[in-house]
Amino acid sequence: MDATDRHIINNLQGDFPLCERPYAEAAARLGLTEDELIQRVEAMLENRTLTRFGPMYHAERLGGALTLAAMKIPAQDFERVAQIINDFPEVAHNYARENAFNMWFVLATETPARIGEVIGEIEKTTGYPVYNMPKLEEFFVGLRFEA
Partner 1 sequence: MSTATVLREKQADAAYAPDATDRRLIVATQEGLPRVSRPYHAIAEKLGISADEVIARLQRMLNGGMIRRIGAVPNHYTLGYQANGMSVWDVPEERVRELGPRIGELDFVSHCYHRPRHLPDWPYNLFAMVHGRDRAEVETKMALIAELLGEADHGHTVLYSTRILKKTGLRLA
Subset of residues 1 to 20 that bind partner 1, contact rule: CB under 8 A? 8-9, 12-16, 18-20
Provide CB contacts within 8 A for 67, sequence distance 6+.
106, 107, 115, 132, 133, 134, 135
Is the CB of residue 31 less than 8 Å from the CB of residue 71? no
Q: Are 115 and 107 in contact (CB under 8 A)?
A: yes
The residues in 89-128 that bind partner 1, with binding defined as CB under 8 A, are: 89, 91-101, 103-105, 108, 110
Report the relative pairing of strands 131-133 and 103-109 from DSSP bridges.
unpaired
**Is residue 59 at the binding interface for partner 1, with CB under 8 A as the rule?**
yes
48 forms part of the interface with partner 1 (CB under 8 A)? yes
32, 41, 73, 107: which one binds partner 1 (CB under 8 A): 41
Work out how close the CB of 101 gets to partner 1 at its nearest, in angstroms, rounded to a whole number.
7
Please tell me whether residue 21 binds partner 1 under the rule CB under 8 A: yes
